[in-house]
Structure 1
Amino acid sequence: MAGRGSRLRPHTLTVPKPLIPVAGQPIVHRLVKDIAKVIDQPIEEVAFILGDPAFFGDDVVDSLTKLANDLGAKASIYRQDQPLGTGHAIMSAKESLSGPAVVAYADTLIRADFNLDEDADAVIWVKQVDKPEAFGVVQLNEKEEIVELVEKPETFVSDLAVIGIYYFKDIAVLKDELQHVLDNNIINGGEYQINDGIKGMMAKGKVFKTGQVDEWMDCGNKAVTVETNGKMLGFLHADGIEQLVDPSVTLNNSKIIEPCYIGKDVVLTDSTVGPNVSIGNGCVLDNSTVKNTIISNYSSIKNATLDDAMIGNHVEFDGNFKTISIGDYSVLN
């Protein structure tokens, strides 16, 4: 979680990207819960790798601690003091690297239902994609085992893209290989990469299998985050498990077109909201039409027609712009 999320600015100027809300919950909260459902095993510990304490402060730590505790696990907080790559980030949590473990990057969401292959030493989760040349992909042998990781292949290798979630039967093995990467200053793209640790495991005969997800939803920039919000709302509405519209919502000559998430104490007046809209707690909308949009907490929206928009916390917006991206505490009148 240590990155600053520059592609999602201005929203990540004040809120760490993994805590940006999607369908009413922070990205990392949904990701951890979804992984817990897939592995369907007791979780003893959730280790979070954060960046600068000035940005990832006590409120972030408290939120993550509660997330782990709600799963019956303890929370461990580590800091990556320099942005030196995925391998370096994982090794920032080396005190927790033992036994079976999942490693995940906290800017993606999944929908999946499969059993982990107990015969494999590790599982790399993948998704079939239309343009594999734009991704890192896995190469398989005749036994459906992963034998190579290829970044943005110029010629076809496979169409199974690595999504950034990994399972290790004993992550101490990866730890040893990443220590070798650090000790020998093995750098790719200017950083220490998890892939070099994985390739070291493969060279020693460790068996890697694939786990395919049904949906892989990115939250890397504003456009795809809004799209992911809509997809996730659709899934949650179909599941019917979460209450997406809080009973405290006040409707004054207004209507909600599902699927939508609407938080506590929201007031809608002369407005139409939905589909694919998430609105945080305490927001007020007046004379507005909103669809395919994320609005965070305690914002006031008037006289607006919004589509494919993303609005931060404590924003005041009065206008007729349609596709916008406004950070926290902005005022546009």
Structure 2
Amino acid sequence: MESSGEKVVAVIMVGGPTKGTRFRPLSFNTPKPLFPLAGQAMVHHPISACKKIPNLAQIFLIGFYEEREFALYVSSISNELRVPVRYLKEDKPHGSAGGIYYFRDLIMEDSPSHIFLLNCDVCCSFPLPDMLEAHIKYGGMGTMLVIKVSAESANEFGELVADPVTKELLHYTEKPETFVSDLINCGVYVFTPDVFNAIEDVSSHREGRANLRRVSSFEALQSATRNLPTDFVRLDQDILSPLAGKKQLYTYETMDFWEQIKTPGMSLKCSSLYLSQFRFTSSHLLASGDGIKNATIVGDVYIHPSAKVHPSAKIGPNVSLSANVRIGAGVRLISCIVLDDVEIKENAVVIHSIVGWKSSIGRWSRVQAEGDYNAKLGITILGEAVTVEDEVVVINSIVLPNKTLNVSVQEEIIL
């Protein structure tokens, strides 16, 4: 392990605001990285994992959201974890590697020996200290977290081939058309500062080609990637693929859970994964109850301290209740995220659903879905301030904000 003097920094890419369209209608209200999973902001899970890295000096969040959208969160998380967290706003797209290069002077101000790079929309157990230890042992420029997935789903991600003994990255291809490997890139990395030289090489090489293009029409016939701006550098195609097989990049395989959070359906699945992880990492965050003084709790459930739940309600498994939620008598909740200031009245049932801020579900109503996390209407979503009146059934539907439902609906998107 390194000497105590060597510092480490972490960078979390939070994306936005042009992205996140697949996360609607939930991203209308709050930046996707601040959407709560298991009662904590999505970005909170990688941030709290970074806290476990030895000699962590700073955490940077890089994205396109306005600074005011993150200001409150950044200040509260810095105080809570006692680690400086800074939000850095990109002025234009620089690509996944170009983004960290653009802010390299700030990232390097503590002269770190290692830089972690994480994507916010990744859900996993983030084994960062183990990764760092393996990375130092390998002695390369970078180490990426990888996982085995089914051969059918591998082509949705970056596929790679690694040496089974040395763990060196031998080949890398992003979303290939033909099957390469069932090992995929998890979007979690640790690098030495040499990564900035590699990014600079791509930029200057592209700049050289751009100068050449002014005198040669042959360039116009080359691939579209030649037309990328010189300061736009992608980590996967521009850094990982060319450096594979050159004893610079290595892999660290996780045997734990891993998912990408692209849609509201996946956020419900990932909330469940984090809740089950709390059993081992943060059991104090999980609710308990026996149905006498408190509600009956089944499986893993998070209840915000300000939420009011009737003792005759039955909650769980996989339920997360946010601030100021009110749950009436006889309510049954299974596999759902209930956001701030929601009221669910007597004997209502909510299953496989996300209930948006300030919404209200009437007596004896049902809001439910099949629970297929990948299907467009596999979970039911109520946007902000949706009212479901008494005895109304909503199945496999998405309801945009500020709507009142007084008739039952099934498999509909209500605009």
Matched, 1:63 2:69: no
> Which residue does the alignment assign to 2:211?
none
Residue matched to 2:397: 324
Cα distance change, pair 107–306 in 1 and its aligned pair in 2 (3 A)? same
Structure 2 CA distance, aligned partners of 1:154 and 1:62?
43
- Tell whether 2:149 aligns with 1:148: no
Instruction: Report matched runs for 1:92-107 at 5 Å.
Output: 92-98=102-108, 99=112, 100-107=114-121
Q: CA deviation at 1:271?
A: 4.7
Q: How does 1:33-112 map to 2 (within 5 A)?
A: 33-37=48-52, 40-53=53-66, 57-98=67-108, 99=112, 100-112=114-126
- In 2 relative to 1, CA 112–52 (structure 1 residues): closer, same or farther, beyond 3 Å? closer
Q: Which amino acid aligns with 1:321?
A: V
Question: Match for 1:281: what amino acid?
Answer: D
Which of the numbers 307, 311, 333 marks the counterpart of 2:382?
Answer: 311
2:38 maps to 1:18: no
Q: Quick check: 1:242 aligned with 2:302?
A: no
Q: 1:260 is aligned with what amino acid?
A: V
2:142 maps to 1:126? no
Shift of 1:329: 4.7
Deviations 1:255-298, CA, capped at 9 Å, x for gaps: 22334222343222245333222223322102421122233433
Q: Aligned pair count?
A: 326
Q: Once the 2 structures are TM-superposed, how far is the Cα of residue 50 of structure 1 from its aligned partner? A: 2.0
Report the CA distance shift for 1:275/1:232 in structure 2 as closer, same or farther (over 3 A): farther
Distance 1:329 1:6 in 2: 19
The 1-side partners of 2:22 and 2:159 are apart by 23
Match for residue 270 of structure 2? 228
Instruction: Give the distance between the partners of 1:294 and 1:301, measured in 2 at CA.
Output: 12
Mapped contact 1:126–1:210 kept (Cα < 8 A):
yes
Taking structure 1 as reference, are residues 241 and 101 closer, same or farther at Cα in structure 2, changes over 3 Å only? farther
The 3-state SS of whatever aligns with 2:262 is coil
* 2:205 is the counterpart of 1:184: yes
Identity of aligned residues (%): 19
Compute the TM-score of the two structures, normalised by the length of structure 1.
0.85
| Structure 1 SS opposite 2:92 | coil
- Contact 1:296/1:311 (8 A) holds in 2: yes
Contact 1:52–1:81 under 8 Å retained in 2: no
- 2 CA distance for matches of 1:21 and 1:61? 17
Gaps of 5+ in 1: none
Shift of 1:51: 0.6
Which has the larger displacement, 126-135 or 300-309? 300-309
2:334 counterpart of 1:293: no
* Structure 2 unaligned regions, length at least 5: 1-13, 208-224, 287-301, 370-378, 407-415
Q: Relative to structure 1, is the Cα distance of residues 60 and 331 closer, same or farther in structure 2, using a 3 angstrom cutoff? A: farther
1:198, distance to aligned residue in structure 2 (A) = 3.7
The answer as to whether partners of 1:173 and 1:201 remain within 8 angstroms in 2 is no
Task: Compute the RMSD of aligned alpha carbons.
Answer: 2.8
Say whether the 8 Å CA contact 1:47–1:93 is kept in structure 2: no
Larger radius of gyration: 2
Amino acid at match of 1:309: T
Distance 1:31 1:326 in 2: 30
Q: Structure 2 residue aligned with 1:267, among 326, 332, 344? A: 326
Sort the Cα spacing of 1:213 and 1:90 in 2 relative to 1 into closer, same or farther, 3 A. Answer: farther
Question: Cα gap change, 1:188/1:296 in structure 2, threshold over 3 Å: closer, same or farther?
Answer: farther
Q: 1:203 to 1:180 in 2, by over 3 A?
A: farther
The partner residue of 1:5 within 9, 20, 23 is: 20
